[in-house]
Amino acid sequence: MEVVPLSSAAEAGAVAADAIEALVRRRPDAVLGLATGSSPLPTYQELIRRHRTGAGPAYDAVRCFTLDEYVGLPAGHPETYRETIFRECTDGLGIARDRVRSPDPSPDGLSDAGPRYEAAIEAAGGVDLQVLGIGGDGHLAFNEPGSSLASATRLKTLTARTRQDNARFFGSVDQVPQHVLTQGLGTILRARHLLFVATGAAKADAVAAAVEGPVSASCPASVLQLHPHATVLLDPAAAARL
Ligand code: GLP
């Protein structure tokens, strides 16, 4: 694992954007794994800024897989992670929406949504670069503490803490869905490069546990330590407990 302390969230975003651009220049049909949340926002904003000024690579041939999705929101709801990733990342890079795949939360297909998503990732040749953030309790995607380190994409129940953390997007905690589909920790570990971004003091304890604590299901993000090519980008506040 390469831990890179940076001077600010904006710098972390710029360094992450450099890594994504370098991959897409090298491999225009790269498979990108995209995370939602506030952590990767500066990265996506920087990619879009460069793309708009003509400085970035072409993204037309890129394929994307998102990490996770809420279950129970109507299709097209602005807080679905599918809509969020269109709005915050892929639309701004000119990536066609049918090139962005996300776990399918429709009620009819829920029982085999996980295996279908795993098969789609495998059919695409696997994820070349996976962008990751971290939850305040150390969760990765929606793999809450206690998740199997080898888990695959599956249905999960959110903890009260994560629903509270995400209530800011919904107006009240009651409106935050209880269930989600999430890539498993095993799925994430199969990506060829993990690009992890954490910023802000609220992440400092989780980052310390993930980077320096034991590899354990009680801190799902500690699986980063098992990956042969993980890059950890931190601003000073997120790095404060290392
Ligand atoms: C959600 C997402 C995670 C994300 C986490 C942290 O729970 N499922 O993928 O890493 O939030 O979000 P933020 O970066 O907004 O703190």
Q: Which domains does the chain have, with CATH numbers?
A: 2-234 (3.40.50.1360)
Four-residue CA torsion sign, 46, 50, 53, 59: negative
Which pLDDT score is estimated for 164?
A: 95
Which pLDDT score is estimated for 223?
A: 98
Q: In angstroms, rounded to a whole number, what is the distance separating the alpha carbons of residues 76 and 41?
A: 21
135 lines ligand 1 (CB under 6 A): yes
Which pLDDT score is estimated for 31?
A: 99
Reported ipTM: 0.95
Strands (E), the chain: 2-5, 31-34, 63-66, 68-71, 100-101, 129-132, 154-157, 179-182, 193-198, 230-234
39 lines ligand 1 (CB under 6 A): yes
pLDDT beneath 50, residues of the chain: none
Which pLDDT score is estimated for 125?
A: 98
Render the burial of 16-27: b for 16+ CB within 10 Å, e for the rest.
bbebbbebbeee
Nearest CA to 95 out of 53, 10, 34 is that of 34
Query: In this structure, which residue's CA is closest to atom 5 in ligand 1?
Result: 135
Which pLDDT score is estimated for 132?
A: 98
Which pLDDT score is estimated for 232?
A: 98
Which pLDDT score is estimated for 68?
A: 98
Which pLDDT score is estimated for 111?
A: 93
Which pLDDT score is estimated for 173?
A: 97
Quote the Cα angle for 79-231-56, to 5°. 65
Which pLDDT score is estimated for 131?
A: 98
Catalytic positions? 68, 137, 139, 144
Which pLDDT score is estimated for 215?
A: 98
Query: In this structure, which residue's CA is closest to atom 10 in ligand 1?
Result: 133
Q: In angstroms, rounded to a whole number, what is the distance separating the alpha carbons of residues 19 and 169?
A: 29
pTM of the model: 0.97
